[in-house]
Amino acid sequence: MLNKKVKKRIIFLTFIFLLSIVVVFFILNSLNKNIVYFSSPTEIKQTEDIPFGKAMRIGGMVKKGSITISQKNIQFIVTDFENEILVSYSGTVPNLFAEGKGVVAEGSLSDKNFFIASRILAKHDENYMPPEIKEIIEKNVK
Amino acid sequence: MLSSIGNILVILVITLSFLIIYNASLDIKFSSQFIKKNIYKLSLFQITFTVLSFFTLIIGFVISDFSLINVYENSHTAKPFFYKIAGTWGNHEGSLLLWVNILVIFSYLFLIFNHIHDKKFRLYTLIVQNILILGFLFFLLLNSNPFNSIYPIPLEGLGLNPILQDPALAIHPPLLYVGFVGCSIFFSAAMASLLSGYGGKIFAQSIKTWVKISWCFQTLGIIVGSIWAYYELGWGGFWFWDPVENASLLPWFAITALMHSLIVLEKRNTLYSWVIILCLLTFILSVTGTFLVRSGILNSVHTFASDPSRGIYILLFLSLMIFSSLIIFFTKYKKETYNFNLKSRETFILVNNWFMAFFLLTVLIGMLYPIFLDVLTNVKISVGPPFFNIVIIPLVVPFLFFMAIGPKFGWVKSRNKFFYKFFYLILGAVIINILIFYFFGKYSFLSNLIFIAAIFLILQSCIDVKKIINNKNKFELPRVISHLGFGLLVFFIGVNYQFSIEEDFNLKVGEIKKINNYEVNFQDIKIKDNKNYKAVIGIFKLTNFKNNLVQYLEPEIRIYSNPETLTYEAAIKTKITSDLYLTMSNVSRSDYYNIKFQNKPFMIWIWISALMISLGGFVQLTLKKNED
């Protein structure tokens, strides 16, 4: 039979093993609750059961001539050249935010045509295009 | 001209590295005690030429020699002198040359400062380090050569990204590089230790100074980067869980764990294999971070114009490094027996290591999960601050407690006598927390726990400081400074998080907005021409109704011409108790300016306590010198 030392070691290793499973499960679980999905306006239109009020990111181009500003907020239209969505935002805009340029906004949907942004992501390189938006544009503009 | 000088120097260094490896492997077989003179000479030449090549590039930037593509793409004649120099490492190619420089400098210093150690061990370290040097030199020469020339020679350069034209960001990369690339030397030493069988206590002594140097610079580099983000990025925050920040944290967790377990190896001559793993891991994580950032896989504030071929090379090199180190580790692995008493200092150092491993795992998963999901299912997601906050913050509470009580235990085994003292201190911490809670405002249960734990650590450290002054036992001082710094850091971050005021709104010139006790009056706008940018300066009158204090803040919008970019300069009024923070931006030239107003309590103390953490390390380095 197993002697005492080996037994002790097996118990110890099982303990460590179980502990790491619990830890990884815990991390993955909270990861699942906190991931933020990225969608284009078209994907929002097409998805049936899109959750309203949950944190997500949208991306596309800021439609030309669509920015309106008031004391409370900024509104603009994000388009992927097929569908578009109205975005309302109050907060600082990054320096490369402009009409006709790519944008990624984080926030939540209030309905399928209206998005309330809590953050507009800053990009600091004038030539830089977020990869998600590049893909959208390549798909829709030929 | 400079292009050929630079290329010749790089090729010379490559040749020298080969010669060093060749000579060192011959010398290992000799049984003499001393390393041959010619290896020292070759190393001296190697470091001289490497440093010269770096100076060549600096000269290229200073005299604006646009025949170098690298200078053309990243510099401009109208740029201030200081940023011409800083521009040398503000781009991918130049920073890679700096990387190689640090590899070579550490290699040389390790060779000449360690003569009391075993010859075989030192030679193996030299060989492994030179293999690393060669790997990065070939990468530099074939893929990212800063000395590539361009013809016809352009008259003017493209300029450095204005957001990088900042004093904090000029020193941030060199600090981080010393910190991260410095880890290479104990990566090499760990491999050498496995290969030569020179392990245990003496191995710990041979690398501990190098680990401390790297740790100090890493810590300092991360802090400086965070300070830069605070006043340059205009969000008013200092930590965003941005992928690149995470990439810099991974090696930091590993090296912090290493620094602690190294003490156990030195004092108790156990945990050798674990120390080796951490040595290898730290540098591997440093390179992984570089790979993720440079290949453009992670997108974040550090967007070097990215290039997939770079990524492939670093990935190949990285996998080679990981596989060879794993193979050597498992072939040379010797079984150790661990004999720890529960109530001993080494147990608590292990506890520290468990926490570090957990933090590391969390950040790693949060960072890599989006990449895997994208590759496997093409679903695009991002993992934001909430994830890291939920997983990491609750664990900070026990972490702080262990950090306070761990060092009170003696080596091997302790008596029970002093436990009641902890009880008094915890009681004190609870009372202070209740006072804060009662007088300044309500916060959640978890925040209460964090405040109690942080105050407990601070109190404990203060008592330690008093003891040190009484006993004149200065060798405990570095540990106390760093631990106290960490306690204060958590405390002030907590206060800052709980009591910050933040408000975004749009204003026209002449309009007024009221927020809590403050009134923001947008009085006027000025335009000013500077050497390489034009500034639109807003003049804001801030009235605090609580004490009728009137202050003027002047945030700027800077319009740079080379390259054409806008940056927003925050106006920050720092006081001992709080920072007033105001940024202004403009959207498509409308009359409305977008204003972000923040009042952030104890901001300056966050920096001071973070600096204290790294100060502890520097103090230890100077103490070490006096001791010898």
Angle at B409 between CA B403 and CA B412, to 5 degrees: 125
Residue B81 resides in a domain:
yes
**How many domains, in total, are found in chain B?**
2
For residues A17 and A55, state if they share a domain. no
For residues A53 and A123, state if they share a domain. yes
CA distance A6 to chain B (A): 13
Q: Which residue has the higher pLDDT, B300 or B185?
A: B185
Residues B303-324: what's their mean pLDDT?
77
Q: Whose CA is closest to B166, among B83, B76, B97?
A: B83
Q: Which residue has the higher pLDDT, B64 or A127?
A: B64
Separation in Å, CA B53 to CA B75, B76, B150, B402: 18, 21, 19, 48
**B161 to A124: CB separation less than 8 angstroms, yes or no:** yes
Residue B595 resides in a domain:
yes
The reported pLDDT for the residue numbered B304 is 47
For residues A76 and A93, state if they share a domain. yes
Can you say whether the dihedral through the CA atoms of B106, B107, B108, B113 is positive or negative?
positive
SS3 B33: coil
CA distance B260 to B324: 26
Alpha-carbon Rg for chain A, nearest whole angstrom, is 23
Paired strand residues for B445:
none
For residues A111 and A62, state if they share a domain. yes
SS3 B216: helix
| Residues A5, A25 contacting (CB under 8 angstroms) | no
The reported pLDDT for the residue numbered B450 is 92
Q: DSSP letter at A64?
A: T
Among the three residues B117, B136, B165, which one is the final residue of a domain in this structure? B165
| Least CB–CB distance from B303: residue in A34, A91, A128 | A128
Residues 536-565 of chain B with CB under 8 A from chain A are: 563-565
Q: Whose CA is closest to B400, among B455, B362, B360?
A: B455
Please provide residue A54's backbone torsions phi and psi, each rounded to the nearest 5 degrees. -95, 145
Q: Whose CA is closest to B90, among B154, B169, B145?
A: B169
Q: What is the pLDDT of residues B594-623, one digit of tens each?
A: 888 889 999 999 999 999 999 999 999 888
The reported pLDDT for the residue numbered A113 is 86
| Residues B220, B175 contacting (CB under 8 angstroms) | yes
Q: Read out DSSP for B73-90? A: HH--TTS-HHHHHHGGGS
Q: Whose CA is closest to B287, among B248, B235, B260, B259?
A: B248
How many alpha carbons fall within 13 Å on the CB side of residue B225?
A: 24
Q: What is the pLDDT of residues A14-32, one digit of tens each?
A: 888 898 888 888 888 888 7
| Residues B223, B264 contacting (CB under 8 angstroms) | no
Q: What is the pLDDT of residues B234-258, one digit of tens each?
A: 677 888 888 888 888 999 999 999 9
The reported pLDDT for the residue numbered B417 is 62
Q: DSSP letter at B556?
A: E
Please provide residue A91's backbone torsions phi and psi, each rounded to the nearest 5 degrees. 155, 180
**B387 to A122: CB separation less than 8 angstroms, yes or no:** no
Range of the domain at A70: 37-140
Instruction: Tell whether B380 lies on the interface with A, counting CB pairs under 8 A.
Output: yes
CA distance B290 to B78: 31
Cβ contacts of B362 on chain A, cutoff 8 Å: 27
Q: What is the pLDDT of residues B551-572, one digit of tens each?
A: 899 998 888 876 677 778 888 9
Residues B188-215: what's their mean pLDDT?
92
Cα B47 to chain centroid, rounded: 25
User: What is the overall mean pLDDT for chain B?
Assistant: 87
For residues A55 and A104, state if they share a domain. yes
Residue B581 resides in a domain:
yes
> Residues 6 or more apart from B504 whose CB is under 8 A from it?
A90, A91, A92, B594, B595, B596, B597
Q: Read out DSSP for chain A? A: ---HHHHHHHHHHHHHHHHHHHHHHHHHHHHHHHEEEEE-HHHHHH-TTPPTTS-EEEEEEEPTT--EE-SS-EEEEEE-SS-EEEEEE-SPPPTT--TTSEEEEEEEEEETTEEEEEEE-----TT---HHHHHHHHHH--
Of chain B, the percentage scoring pLDDT greater than 70 comes to: 95
Token output for B40: 């020292």
| Residues A108, A58 contacting (CB under 8 angstroms) | no
Has residue A127 got a pLDDT over 70?
no
Please provide residue B28's backbone torsions phi and psi, each rounded to the nearest 5 degrees. -60, -35
The reported pLDDT for the residue numbered A138 is 66
| Other C-beta atoms lying within 10 Å of the C-beta of residue B61 | 29
CA distance A35 to chain B (A): 5
The reported pLDDT for the residue numbered B628 is 45
The reported pLDDT for the residue numbered A35 is 80
Instruction: Tell whether B384 lies on the interface with A, counting CB pairs under 8 A.
Output: yes
The reported pLDDT for the residue numbered A136 is 65
Residue B531 resides in a domain:
yes
The reported pLDDT for the residue numbered B54 is 95
Range of the domain at B127: 1-165
N residues, chain A: 142
Cβ contacts of B505 on chain A, cutoff 8 Å: 71-72, 90
For residues A43 and A27, state if they share a domain. no
**A95 to B592: CB separation less than 8 angstroms, yes or no:** no
Residues 46-105 of chain A with CB under 8 A from chain B are: 55, 57, 67, 69-74, 90-93, 95-99
SS3 content of chain B, % helix, strand, coil (to 5): 65, 10, 20
The reported pLDDT for the residue numbered A126 is 45
Amino acid identity, position B436: I
CB-count burial class (<10 Å; 0-12, 13-18, 19+) for B595: buried
Residues B512-533: what's their mean pLDDT?
87
| Residues B494, B447 contacting (CB under 8 angstroms) | yes
Has residue A123 got a pLDDT over 70?
no
Residues B467-476: what's their mean pLDDT?
83
Amino acid identity, position B128: V
Q: For residue A92, name the pLDDT band (cuts at 50, 70, 90).
A: confident
Alpha-carbon Rg for chain B, nearest whole angstrom, is 27
Residues 444-483 of chain B with CB under 8 A from chain A are: none
ipTM of the complex: 0.74
Instruction: Tell whether A130 lies on the interface with B, counting CB pairs under 8 A.
Output: yes
Instruction: Tell whether B77 lies on the interface with A, counting CB pairs under 8 A.
Output: no
β-pairing, B501-507 vs B381-383, is unpaired
Cβ contacts of B358 on chain A, cutoff 8 Å: 23
Most confident of the following: A103-107, A121-125, B335-339: A103-107
Of all residues in chain B, the one with the smallest CA distance to A98 is B588
The DSSP H or E segment spanning B285 is: helix B272-294
**A31 to B365: CB separation less than 8 angstroms, yes or no:** yes
Angle at B463 between CA B467 and CA B267, to 5 degrees: 60
**How many domains, in total, are found in chain A?**
2
Has residue B519 got a pLDDT over 70?
yes
The reported pLDDT for the residue numbered A124 is 47
For residues A6 and A49, state if they share a domain. no
Number of A–B residue contacts, CB under 8 Å = 109
Amino acid identity, position B368: L
Residue B261 resides in a domain:
no
Residues B330-338: what's their mean pLDDT?
80
CB-count burial class (<10 Å; 0-12, 13-18, 19+) for B347: middle
Q: Which residue has the higher pLDDT, A121 or A52?
A: A52
For residues A10 and A60, state if they share a domain. no
> Residues 6 or more apart from B556 whose CB is under 8 A from it?
B535, B536, B537, B538, B568, B569, B571, B584
Residues 351-370 of chain B with CB under 8 A from chain A are: 358, 361-362, 365-366, 369-370
Residue carrying structure tokens 């037994």? A7
**B299 to A131: CB separation less than 8 angstroms, yes or no:** yes
Of all residues in chain B, the one with the smallest CA distance to A118 is B504
Instruction: Tell whether B74 lies on the interface with A, counting CB pairs under 8 A.
Output: no
Residues B360-373: what's their mean pLDDT?
87
CA distance B575 to B192: 51
* Peptide bond between residue B152 and the one before it cis (omega within 30 degrees of 0): yes
For residues A64 and A111, state if they share a domain. yes
Residue carrying structure tokens 């590089």? B177
Q: What is the pLDDT of residues B276-295, one digit of tens each?
A: 999 999 999 999 888 777 76
Residue carrying structure tokens 């072939």? B331
For residues A5 and A28, state if they share a domain. yes
Residues B58-83: what's their mean pLDDT?
87
Residue A61 sits in a domain of what CATH number?
Answer: 2.40.50.140
For residues A26 and A76, state if they share a domain. no
Residues B517-533: what's their mean pLDDT?
87
For residues A65 and A89, state if they share a domain. yes
| Residues B337, B269 contacting (CB under 8 angstroms) | no
